[in-house]
Amino acid sequence: SPSRSSVIIVGAGVSGISAAKVLAENGIEDFIILEASDRIGGRIRKESFGGVTVELGAGWIAGVGGEKSNPAWELANKSGLRTCFSDYSNARYNIYDTSGKIIPIKLANELYKKAVDSAKERMDSAIRSLRSQESNNRGCGGGDVSRVTEPPFTPRTPFELALDFLLHDFEMAEVEPISTFVDFGEREFLVADERGYEHLLYKMAEEFLFTSEGKILDSRLQLNKVVRELQNSRNGVTVTTEDGCVYEANYLILSVSIGVLQSDLISFRPPLPRWKMEAIQTCEVMVYTKIFLKFPHKFWPCGPGKEFFMYAHERRGYYTFWQHMENAFPGSNILVVTLTNGESKRVEAQSEEETLKEAMGVLRNMFGPNIPNATDILVPCWYYNRFQCGSYSNYPIISNNQLVHNIKAPVGRIFFTGEHTSEQFSGYVHGGYLAGIDTSKALLEEIRKERKIENQNNLLE
Ligand code: FAD
């Protein structure tokens, strides 16, 4: 029969690793981590490209410089990670139209103000409607979510669409208070280190797993183990992986993404209760794709305030948001363009040649026909990757806490963790990190309770 451990952790991203660390620190050493891919890190993932190390997943430490210290920033400092300050706020002064003209500053400011005001107005009306719904529903249980419906101002022109994209997909903090920036500060630092953002995770892992020369050699970490079935019973949890292995444990911590929970990769026996399924299906999944392009030389402006630039097109989000990598890696001649949601999915499904052609078309519109072709392209795949199914959770702008509460709540012996279970910091690395700690603490509490009952029963016998 399969050996039994105290706890099985499914997934070795930041939340799985931080959860395991807390268990180890509290004397629970007989855990097993089952990870579907061949590496740790999950959505923190580096790759060599064009002579430097680029981050396909999390790239920034978001929320720095405030009163409270961001734990991800602390970890980065402790492990000597090289970072680089990023300032999105200039992006709106570098908006190109399809003929390569930059929108004048005065007009940019006017349009930006209009976009912020309208977004705030939408937010206020959504809050009002949630409040009135709540007062109508009082006593009937929560769980309702108010989505922003008809906006009072609809962005139509390419410039308005570009600013709308900037505000909703990048500068959300301009419109609504986001805990990450309220608590930890408004600054963001790009990780620009050959060892990658994932270096933080290796440093964390070193503290409780057996490692040698930067490699994890601990048999409690099992890679290439795709969990397909979880059986929850009164006495324990049984896990079956795709390669037919069976594992048993007293408890399980499940750290797979919200997208994976929505997919049919893992089946639950018995099925998850309805309130749980509904909560999982309600949470939106954001797709965010950074496409990297390498050039033989620079043809874009590089001075102060030029790191980010935008392309105004009649299709919202069509190769809108650009960044050059000269601040992070001088001389690298790399550009990054970020796509989201529908555009991400579209591009993930087509060939790299097709994507390269589109991106070059956009760049030629901005910088003229004589710019050189890119010599290399890298298109990460987050949506059609069955171990991710998206980039991060995106709770409705206005939602009550019941939703995240239900997503996080344990079911029998299965405890849920991951960035999507963080009430305050979902969608971020620090959210995943803190969620792992939180979930392990809740599990430790449960284990203590169970032991106490066992001891009492033993005394009675
Ligand atoms: P994950 O890292 O996804 O870990 C879950 C693990 O479970 C994965 O390793 C996966 O392989 C594994 N798994 C899945 N299914 C199974 C299975 N069936 N069996 C076994 N294992 C399984 N955050 C920031 O703070 N700043 C940023 O700039 C930022 N940018 C981002 C950009 C992109 C493109 C993406 C994708 C994310 C970004 N994030 C950013 C978010 C951040 O990366 C995540 O919030 C965080 O890394 C999530 O950690 P996690 O442990 O919750 O999940």
Lowest mean pLDDT among 113-117, 264-268, 377-381: 113-117
**Residue 460, pLDDT score:** 86
The verdict on the CB of residue 71 being under 6 Å from ligand 1 is: no
Q: How far apart are CA 430 and CA 419, in angstroms?
A: 8
Is 35 annotated to bind a ligand? Reply is yes
**Residue 153, pLDDT score:** 67
Q: Determine the residue of 47, 56, 237, 256 to mutate for testing ligand 1's pocket, defined as the one with the most ligand atoms within 8 A of the Cβ atom.
A: 256
- ipTM score: 0.99
Q: Which residue is listed with tokens 């579209």?
A: 346
> What are the tokens at 31?
């855990």
**Residue 138, pLDDT score:** 56
The verdict on the CB of residue 227 being under 6 Å from ligand 1 is: yes
How many A from CA of 46 to the centre of ligand 1? 13
Q: How far apart are CA 345 and CA 82, in angstroms?
A: 31
**Residue 285, pLDDT score:** 96
Burial 309-330 (b: 16+ CB within 10 A, else e): bbbbbeebbbbbbbbbbbbbbe
Mean pLDDT estimate for the chain? 93
The verdict on the CB of residue 333 being under 6 Å from ligand 1 is: no
Residue predicted with more confidence, 212 or 25: 25
pTM metric for this prediction: 0.94
Q: Quick one: average pLDDT of 432-461?
A: 94
Q: Quick one: average pLDDT of 433-440?
A: 98
Question: Which long-range contacts does 361-368 make (Cβ < 8 Å, 24+ apart)?
Answer: 362/311, 362/313, 362/318, 362/319, 362/337, 363/335, 365/96, 365/98, 365/99, 365/100, 365/311, 366/96, 366/100, 366/309, 366/311, 367/100, 367/299, 367/300, 368/100
How many A from CA of 373 to the centre of ligand 1? 33
How many CB atoms are closer than 10 A to CB 36?
Answer: 22
Q: Quick one: average pLDDT of 224-235?
A: 97
The verdict on the CB of residue 20 being under 6 Å from ligand 1 is: no
Q: Determine the residue of 47, 285, 392 to mutate for testing ligand 1's pocket, defined as the one with the most ligand atoms within 8 A of the Cβ atom.
A: 392
Q: Quick one: average pLDDT of 440-446?
A: 98
**Residue 214, pLDDT score:** 81
How many A from CA of 129 to the centre of ligand 1? 33
Residues whose CB falls within 8 Å of the CB of residue 268, separated by 6 or more in sequence, listed in order: 229, 230, 232, 411, 414
Lowest mean pLDDT among 54-63, 127-136, 393-402: 127-136
